[in-house]
Amino acid sequence: MRQKGSVLMLILWVLIVLAVFSVAVSFQASSDTRLARHETDKIKATYLTRAGIIKMLAEIVRDANSYDSLNEDWNRSRKDPKTLTIRNDKIFYGASDESARLNLNSRSLTGRQLVALGIEESLAEELIRYKSKKGDKGFEFLEELFLVKGMTRQIYADIENFITIYRDESAVVNINTAASRVLEAILIDHSVVQDILEYRKGPDEKQGTSDDGVFRQPADMSVIKGIDPGLFSVSSDVFRIWAQALISEDDDAAVSIEAVVSRSGKTYNWKEF
């Protein structure tokens, strides 16, 4: 009887071990399946996001206007995105004008412009000195600014949306899209900047609406006294496009891309995150 009892206990322990092993294998298989599905969704989201970048660029290329302004449909922030739905998945996308920014790689960049943009004079001098040492290369990526003595994360965050290095050596900015801080950096006369902004607002006194005052051709700048037309353009060739895809079955598979591209498709910068 004792021998039979021992055999039963042994069989029971074997069954318990097998049951535990089976549960472990099942759990591992389930985890592997979830992981594989997540990776698949991530790849899917990546390609959908890239499609959003391409679609936005295509819309910009189709824009036949001789000017680019804030009230055009391509000008979309993340707060007011364009949306594309494919089955149950969504792509959000939009763009901004890179020509609205002060070009740090411009040959005519001065310390005065940087100070007018909001940078302290000592840091502005260091930035010009660093750029001069780089020679024809100039700044090769925007985060290179952290190599300039005195640059901090707070200062970088404050100026990031008003500067570019992706427009070759062009110094002109788009008078229709440049923010007031950029206009202040380009122009010396504050009153001229205010006149430009007032003209752009239109009757409803809001920029980015249908009644905006738009400089449709360079000759239109003559309505504002004190403007040097050589400092500005009314259209743009380089845009900052963003897109994000959300997979309906997996919120964690979201992918975002920001790209700086020209109308012709030249890519200056590409970030996926």
Half-sphere exposure of 168 (CA within 13 A, CB side): 7
Average pLDDT, the chain: 89
Please state the domain extents for the chain: 1-101+167-273
pLDDT of residue 34: 58
pLDDT at residue 39 in the model: 83
Burial, 11: exposed, middle or buried (Cβ in 10 Å; 0-12, 13-18, 19+)? Answer: exposed
Task: Note whether 139 and 102 are within 8 A (CB).
Answer: no
The tokens describing 71, both together, are: 């009230």
Model-level pTM? 0.85
Q: Please calculate the CA angle 161-162-163 and round it to the nearest 5 degrees.
A: 100
- The yes-or-no verdict on residue 27 having pLDDT over 90 is no
Q: How confident is the model at residue 124 (pLDDT cuts 50, 70, 90)?
A: very high
Q: What is the pLDDT of residue 87?
A: 87
